[in-house]
């Protein structure tokens, strides 16, 4: 008798429970749909979007209010966060008179163990009015942590989780010049002309960032020879502090690093020689001149006004067929291919021809008009991945 009385009640409960499940599913579906309307279609189901959800669910993100609004996979988000926290105003008197070099080894620097003392001396002797600073790995990490841990923490997280010194070396040079301004030069470079005689210090333009072409391979086989059709080198450059071109470069490095980190490939170097040979290129794209070039190009293309001023209209390859990828970008590799003289962007950024930061071994100031330093290509960074 009891069972016949309670069966209808039990059935009603089951129906109500089923309806509740359906309603919950429906509301969840609507909420998800509403949320996704704020996500670009290209990211809606992408791996990057899933990484971002994982990032926002992490204890580190939840515990640090400085992460709010961060999206390390979106270059422009990181760029805006950097330029908001470190607003750019031109330094009085031009680019700060500082020269930075580094020797990253465990522990404190020992002057006697730092290589190329004769190279370093050229920077001191030719530039007596510049402050010269040799930085250790500890110096760099301390400065980056102090500046970014509570402002744009994804930048510090990227630096702190890079597994190789070469990656930290590349990244920290962008960060140090962003924070301080001055000249960056690798240890295996020699200064052939005083910085006061470099092009940007001899003209009336208010130039605040100077880089140089590294590779300009005008051959249909260029993809097998270089990372970019026209790539800018990162062994030497000069910049004002907080310059937005470096903010853009830093944002590109952050995106690349977080992509690698969240895909689980931080330790991508193995004992296999063929794998290492391939992964050498990944250094270029991860933190090196490949991603450095991407940042410079992106900065130019994001500018509201874009004006390229050529000092010399004749190009080395003026009569050659140009090989290279098509692009919809207004400023691209074609604007810098075959340079014989500097090109100035918006009276602010100067790109030197290939010889600019790569003088010949028998440098002659009388014939090398736009040449300022020699890179000796010691390639010491390769020892870390070989």
Q: For the segment 2-39, what is each residue's pLDDT rounded down to a tens digit? A: 334 344 444 555 445 444 444 433 433 333 333 333 44
DSSP string, 82-117: HHHHS---PPTTSS-SEEEEE---SSS--GGGSS-H
d(CA 339, CA 316): 7
| Contact in structure between 363 and 374 (CB atoms under 8 Å) | yes
Percent of the chain whose pLDDT exceeds 90: 70
The torsion angle over the Cα atoms of residues 167, 168, 173 and 178, rounded to 10 degrees, is: 110
Q: How far apart are the first and last CA of the chain?
A: 84
pLDDT of residue 254: 98
pLDDT of residue 360: 82
pLDDT of residue 380: 55
pLDDT of residue 42: 53
| Contact in structure between 232 and 46 (CB atoms under 8 Å) | no
pLDDT band at 231 (very low <50, low <70, confident <90, very high): very high
Residues in the chain: 386
**Choice among 20-24, 49-53, 190-194, 301-305 with the minimum mean pLDDT:** 20-24
The torsion angle over the Cα atoms of residues 80, 83, 182 and 138, rounded to 10 degrees, is: -80
The torsion angle over the Cα atoms of residues 274, 278, 280 and 284, rounded to 10 degrees, is: 180
* pLDDT higher than threshold 60 for residue 281: no
pLDDT band at 150 (very low <50, low <70, confident <90, very high): very high
* pLDDT higher than threshold 70 for residue 248: yes
* pLDDT higher than threshold 60 for residue 271: no
pLDDT tens for each residue of 322-378: 999 998 999 999 999 999 999 999 999 999 999 999 998 778 887 789 999 999 988
Q: Give the CA distances from residue 366 to residues 195, 256, 301, 370, 371, in Å, rounded to whole numbers and listed in that order.
A: 17, 43, 36, 10, 10
pLDDT band at 379 (very low <50, low <70, confident <90, very high): low
* pLDDT higher than threshold 80 for residue 173: yes
Please choose, from the candidates 212, 233, 274, the residue with its C-alpha nearest in 3D space to the C-alpha of residue 377. 233
Domains and CATH numbers, the chain: 65-384 (3.90.550)
pLDDT of residue 267: 61
* pLDDT higher than threshold 80 for residue 234: yes
Query: Rounded to the nearest 5 degrees, what angle is found at the Cα of 308, between the Cα atoms of 306 and 313?
Result: 155
Average pLDDT over residues 255-266: 88
| Contact in structure between 149 and 337 (CB atoms under 8 Å) | no
pLDDT of residue 32: 31
pLDDT band at 302 (very low <50, low <70, confident <90, very high): very high
pLDDT of residue 102: 96
d(CA 305, CA 375): 34
| Contact in structure between 293 and 264 (CB atoms under 8 Å) | no
pLDDT of residue 238: 98
As beta bridge partners, residue 212 has 352
Cα atoms in the Cβ-side hemisphere of radius 13 Å centred on 196: 7
Average pLDDT over residues 169-194: 97
Helix-then-strand count for the chain, H and E: 11, 11
**DSSP-based three-state secondary structure for 208:** coil
pLDDT band at 265 (very low <50, low <70, confident <90, very high): confident
């Amino acid at each position: 008798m009891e069972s016949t009385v309670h069966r209808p009640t039990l059935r009603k409960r089951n129906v109500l429970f089923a309806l509740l499940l359906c309603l919950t599913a429906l509301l969840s579906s609507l909420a998800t749909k509403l949320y996704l309307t704020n996500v670009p279609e290209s990211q809606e189901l992408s791996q990057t979007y899933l990484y971002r959800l994982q990032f926002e669910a992490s204890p580190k993100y939840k515990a640090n209010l400085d992460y709010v609004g961060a999206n390390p996979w979106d270059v422009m988000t990181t760029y805006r966060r950097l330029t908001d926290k470190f607003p750019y105003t031109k330094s009085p008197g031009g680019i700060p008179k500082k020269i930075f070099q580094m020797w990253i080894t465990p522990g404190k620097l020992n002057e006697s163990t730092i290589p190329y003392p004769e190279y370093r001396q050229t920077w001191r002797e030719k530039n007596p009015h510049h402050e010269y600073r040799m930085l250790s790995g500890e110096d760099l990490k301390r400065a980056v942590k102090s500046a970014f841990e509570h402002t744009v923490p994804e930048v510090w997280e990227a630096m702190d989780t890079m597994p190789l010194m070469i990656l930290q070396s590349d990244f920290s040079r962008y960060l140090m010049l962003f924070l301080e301004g001055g000249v960056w030069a690798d240890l295996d470079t020699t200064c052939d002309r005083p910085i006061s005689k470099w092009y940007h210090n001899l003209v009336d333009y208010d130039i605040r960032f100077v880089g140089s072409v590294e590779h300009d391979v005008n051959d249909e086989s260029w993809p097998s020879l270089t990372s970019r059709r026209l790539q800018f080198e990162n062994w030497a450059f000069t910049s004002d502090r907080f310059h937005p071109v470096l903010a853009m470069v830093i944002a590109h490095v952050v995106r690349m690093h977080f992509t690698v980190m969240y895909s689980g490939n931080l330790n991508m170097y193995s004992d296999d020689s063929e794998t290492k040979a391939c992964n050498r290129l990944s250094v270029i794209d991860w933190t090196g001149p490949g991603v450095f070039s991407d940042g410079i190009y992106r900065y130019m293309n994001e500018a509201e006004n874009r004006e390229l001023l050529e000092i010399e209209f004749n190009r080395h390859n003026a009569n050659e067929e140009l090989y290279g990828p098509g692009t919809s970008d207004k400023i691209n590799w074609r604007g810098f291919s075959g340079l014989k003289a500097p090109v100035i962007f918006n009276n602010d950024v100067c790109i030197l021809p290939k010889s600019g930061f790569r003088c010949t071994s028998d440098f002659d100031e009388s014939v090398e008009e736009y040449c300022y330093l020699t890179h000796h290509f010691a390639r010491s960074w390769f020892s870390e991945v070989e």
